[in-house]
Amino acid sequence: MTTYPKTHLKGAITLAAFLAVIITTLPAKESAKTARVPVSLSIDPQLVSTSLPLQNEDPATEIEAIPWTRVKIRPGDNLSIIFKRMGLRAADLQAIVDIGADVSVLRKIITGKTLGLKISSEKQLLALRYEKNALESLLVARAGNTFIAYRDISQPEVITAFQTARISTDSPSLYHAGKKAGLSDNIIMELSYIFQWDISFALDLRKGDVFAVIYEEIYVDGEKVKEGDILAAYFQNMGKTYSAVLFEDDNGLKNYYTPEGRSLRKAFIRDPVHFSHVSSNFNLRRFHPIHKRVMPHLGIDYAANRGTPVVAAGDGKVTIARQNNASGKYVVIQHGQQYTTKYLHLSSFAKTVRPGKNVAQGQTIGFVGATGWATAPHLHFEFLVNGVHRNPKTVKLPKAKPILASNMNRFRASTAPMLLRLSSIVGSTTFANASQKTSRSDG
């Protein structure tokens, strides 16, 4: 299937119609070859009215004169049902299916999306359009008695935007402060992932903490369709400052680094449950709410809704995944020779989690519950070093690896402009709510 950037449909339809005329007059052995001439088939999104009769004798003009009919995909719909509902010929559907892998996306059309159809007054299908995502559509156009498939790629405009926010009484969490500043759930979540090795968003946030983020917004035809990467970010937490900048290495891998070139990624993340709150800290003399006596609390309890994903704090191997009366459903992960983490009171395990299986940092291993000795849904998380329980909040974690020496010069050159802009935002706004956008085209 040929790929073309989004251009006007007129020329494409003209050529497709010309092909149709040529194909019908050529011997059959030449038809297939002629039908493979590449064309661009962009669709004007404003052509959404119902079909009009053909009145012009010029095939190209006739096809172009047919408006696009938009058909909303209903629950349970497939192409066969839609063709039948629209009175279209089964032979045309078969011809489209026969194209093969290039139209495989049409086998599982998604409820709520829209099909664009060009239909002649004789109920002959002239063209079909299915939007795979915000930037790419599948186009199928008639050429004689057959059809040709194309990928229609929209050229996005990338807007570089920034926002700043402050943790306050009214906005006590990263989520609330981010939403108040106008950030999407996606950007807030990504921001938490960037700093998750240094900041516990359940334990460490304080009134007056501030953050700034520079990120991409993707627009097509003037409409925002999604967000791109976070390009740089800053967090001031409990008097300490953390900065991050995105860098792509020689292998094409993207990661976040400090301005000095140290990776923010560490061996362990601070919180195995995102956007929760701590209901009980590490405490060797805690009064147990069920047993009504002083018992050591050798971990941290994260209160969260039942079913909230629990992730592995670091790469390792599952040694235990079972249930008992006290811990309920729980998982134990061994991280090399020195470190062990435990996750208690789960409602269920992730499907791939079982003893002997390797897990990656951030991989979902189970879901928050209230099994075992638990009064409400929460995760009890323990961190052991050489078999000794340590406070997950204060335990020192292995340092991050720096940028490779071979990449350092390119790192400094490519990240300097973004870091300068981040510094300017931090200094010039003093973290009052502010935003700014500049655009660039990825064409």
Residues of the chain with CATH 2.70.70.10: 277-390
- Per-residue pLDDT band at 2 (split at 50, 70, 90): low
Cα-Cα-Cα-Cα dihedral sign, residues 272, 278, 279, 281 = positive
pLDDT digits (tens, 9 = 90+) for 384-425: 999 999 988 888 887 777 888 888 999 999 999 999 999 999
DSSP string, 3-56: EEE---HHHHHHHHHHHHHHHHHS-HHHHHHHHT--------TT--S-------
Q: What is the pLDDT of residue 350?
A: 96
pLDDT beyond 60 at 3: no
Place of tokens 């085209």: 441
Q: How many residues belong to the chain? A: 443
Q: What is the pLDDT of residue 172?
A: 92
Give the largest CA-CA distance in the chain. 93
Rounded to an integer, the average pLDDT of 234-239 is 93
- Per-residue pLDDT band at 373 (split at 50, 70, 90): confident
Rounded to an integer, the average pLDDT of 319-341 is 95
The answer to whether the pTM exceeds 0.95 is no
Q: Report the topology of domain 157-266+399-441.
A: Nuclear Transport Factor 2; Chain: A, (3.10.450)
CB 302 within 8 A of CB 367: no
pLDDT digits (tens, 9 = 90+) for 154-211: 888 999 999 999 999 999 999 999 999 999 999 999 999 999 999 988 888 999 999 9
pLDDT beyond 60 at 93: yes
Q: What is the pLDDT of residue 115?
A: 92
- Per-residue pLDDT band at 16 (split at 50, 70, 90): low
Q: Which of 149-163, 278-292, 332-346 has the highest mean pLDDT?
A: 332-346
Distance CA 325, CA 322 (A): 11
CB 208 within 8 A of CB 166: yes
Rounded to an integer, the average pLDDT of 203-226 is 90
Distance CA 152, CA 142 (A): 16
Cβ neighbors of 435 (< 8 A, separation 6 or more) are 161, 162, 163, 181, 182
pLDDT beyond 60 at 293: no
pLDDT digits (tens, 9 = 90+) for 20-65: 544 444 444 333 332 322 333 333 333 332 222 323 334 444 556 7
Give the alpha-carbon dihedral of 382, 383, 388, 394, to 10 degrees. Answer: -110
Residues of the chain with CATH 3.10.450.350: 2-153, 157-266+399-441
Cα-Cα-Cα-Cα dihedral sign, residues 282, 285, 288, 291 = positive
- Backbone φ and ψ for 185, nearest 5 degrees, come out as -55, -40
Q: What is the pLDDT of residue 221?
A: 78
Q: What is the pLDDT of residue 54?
A: 28
Share the mean pLDDT of the chain.
81
pLDDT digits (tens, 9 = 90+) for 102-136: 999 999 999 999 999 999 888 899 999 998 887 88
Rounded to an integer, the average pLDDT of 262-291 is 69
CATH number of the domain located at residue range(s) 2-153 in this protein:
3.10.450.350
Q: What is the pLDDT of residue 440?
A: 56
**CA-based angle 287:291:294, to the nearest 5?**
30
The CATH superfamily assigned to 277-390 is Glucose Permease (Domain IIA) (2.70.70.10)
pLDDT beyond 80 at 89: yes
Cβ neighbors of 6 (< 8 A, separation 6 or more) are 40, 42, 152, 153, 154, 155
Q: What is the pLDDT of residue 213?
A: 97
